[in-house]
């Protein structure tokens, strides 16, 4: 153990009993994926919930979990489902790579079950499944199988950094190693699943980010951050740099029958496998204003002639085809409204940048539609012509597209 834990040496053995006593009286025991009250735990349910709960709050996950369980009650059901149906169920939950890994992982798990007649029974076996890291694997081992397992997710890291006053940057590998060492020391060999549930509840309900309820905490007597009145100083994390911004037009290409063109995004990248309106990347033109820092002075629609490298990165193959088709046919999308308010970009924040999407509309005739369809089919592009309502009802749409539909 790191040397500065010597202050807590007398409390290490009592940590788990105190936490478990608190959990028995005050913890959450009615979440649909919890398995601590059953003698025959279901690792599928725990795996599904753990993937959904990554960087997402319980209240947000609950309806999605219920929908998945209704449609895919077993891992075999999930593995056999078409991706479009899985994407439709996930749409709006965000961090879409999780959904891709979930679907891929279900197929991997079915292969394991067909070979062994059971789910993986080891930590390494679960870590071999797509999207499953050490903490998720530990949670499944502890809660989904009632074996020994250790978790060290964001909630746990917050509890431990405060209790032990660990002042290292939690984004650094050295601090991560230190936290895992402490988590392993504190996790009891028996009832590690209960302990995992309790640690999650502690971080989610008491030891919260901004307003920890220290007076209700069973660990307050020896919590070093509490003793110093510095609870919110932990965990220590390098200050985030300001997110950059991207700007795109979202094209509502409408047929004379009022259907709109929807494209399936490539498997890799943002919104992988989901459906989206065609997007046009917009470059912001900057200029020096009276000797001061650069400031946006206008914008221009990016095309292959202006910056081939950026164009190929920012436009999918389908969007490149559509962009070139628009130029060939001298077609230009116009504002969806003549009012300034309705024409304002829709802001959508992703992990690494803010995305400003401006809806623009273009109506094409039957001949133009046939020509565009021919180009997309020739390039093996997945596309559909649907009204906004039908797209919302039948396609997996990212939240940004829902914002445009709901505008």
The answer to whether the Cα torsion of 384, 386, 389, 390 is positive or negative is negative
334-335 and 354-363 as β-strands: parallel, antiparallel, unpaired? antiparallel
Taking residue 36's Cβ as centre, other Cβ atoms within 10 Å add up to 18
- Residue 172 CA to residue 175 CA, distance in Å, equals 6
The answer to whether the Cα torsion of 299, 302, 305, 310 is positive or negative is positive
Q: Is 228 a catalytic site residue? A: no
354-363 and 245-254 as β-strands: parallel, antiparallel, unpaired? parallel
Max Cα distance, the chain (Å): 80
294-301 and 279-288 as β-strands: parallel, antiparallel, unpaired? antiparallel
- Residue 139 CA to residue 145 CA, distance in Å, equals 9
Place of tokens 């021919």: 374
- Residue 40 CA to residue 36 CA, distance in Å, equals 9
- Residue 6 CA to residue 15 CA, distance in Å, equals 14
Three-state secondary structure readout of 61-111: HHHHHHHHHHHCCCHHHHHHCCHHHHHHHHCCCCCCHHHHHHHHHHHHHHH
Helices (H), 207-248: 224-227
**Long-range contacts of the stretch 76-84 (C-beta < 8 A, 24+):** 76/110, 76/113, 78/48, 78/102, 78/103, 78/106, 79/103, 79/106, 79/107, 79/109, 79/110, 83/273, 84/395, 84/396
25, 50, 319, 388: the catalytic one is 50
Helices 43-53 and 58-71: crossing angle in degrees, nearest 10, is 140
List the structure tokens of 391.
């797209």
CA 196 to chain centroid: 22
Known catalytic residues? 50
């Amino acid at each position: 153990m790191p040397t500065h834990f010597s202050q807590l040496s007398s409390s290490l053995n009592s940590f788990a009993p105190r936490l478990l006593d608190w959990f028995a009286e005050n913890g959450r025991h009615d979440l649909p994926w919890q398995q601590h009250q059953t003698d025959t735990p279901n690792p599928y349910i725990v795996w599904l919930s753990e993937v959904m709960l990554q960087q997402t709050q319980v209240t947000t996950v609950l309806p999605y979990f219920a929908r998945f369980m209704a449609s895919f009650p077993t891992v075999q059901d999930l593995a056999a489902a078409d991706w479009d149906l899985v994407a439709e169920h996930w749409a709006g939950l965000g961090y879409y790579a999780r959904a891709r890994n979930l679907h891929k992982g279900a197929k991997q798990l079915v292969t394991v079950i067909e070979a062994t007649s059971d789910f993986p029974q080891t930590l390494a076996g679960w870590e071999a499944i797509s999207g499953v890291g050490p903490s998720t694997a530990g949670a499944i081992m502890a809660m989904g199988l009632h074996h020994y397992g250790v978790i060290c997710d964001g909630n746990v890291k917050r509890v431990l950094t405060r209790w032990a006053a660990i002042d290292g940057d939690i984004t650094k590998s050295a601090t991560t190693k230190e936290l895992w060492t402490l988590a392993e020391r504190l996790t009891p060999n028996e009832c590690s699943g209960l302990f995992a549930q309790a640690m999650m509840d502690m971080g989610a309900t008491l030891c919260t980010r901004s307003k920890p309820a220290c007076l209700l905490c069973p660990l307050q007597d020896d919590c070093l951050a509490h003793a110093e009145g510095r609870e919110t100083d932990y965990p220590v994390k390098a200050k985030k740099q300001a997110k950059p911004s991207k700007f795109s037009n979202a094209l509502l290409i409408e047929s004379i029958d009022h259907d709109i063109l929807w494209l399936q995004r490539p498997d890799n990248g943002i919104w992988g496998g989901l459906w989206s309106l065609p997007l046009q990347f917009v470059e912001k033109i900057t200029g020096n204003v009276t000797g001061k820092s650069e400031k946006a002075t206008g914008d221009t629609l990016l095309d292959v002639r202006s910056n081939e490298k950026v164009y190929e990165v920012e436009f999918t193959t389908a969007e490149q085809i559509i962009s070139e088709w628009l130029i060939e046919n001298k077609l230009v999308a116009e504002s969806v409204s003549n009012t300034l308010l309705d024409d304002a970009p829709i802001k959508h924040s992703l992990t690494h940048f803010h995305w400003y999407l401006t809806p623009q509309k273009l109506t094409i005739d039957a001949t133009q539609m046939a020509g565009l369809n021919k180009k997309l089919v020739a390039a093996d592009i997945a596309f559909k012509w649907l009204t906004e309502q039908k797209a919302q009802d039948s396609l997996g749409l990212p939240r940004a597209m829902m914002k445009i539909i709901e505008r």
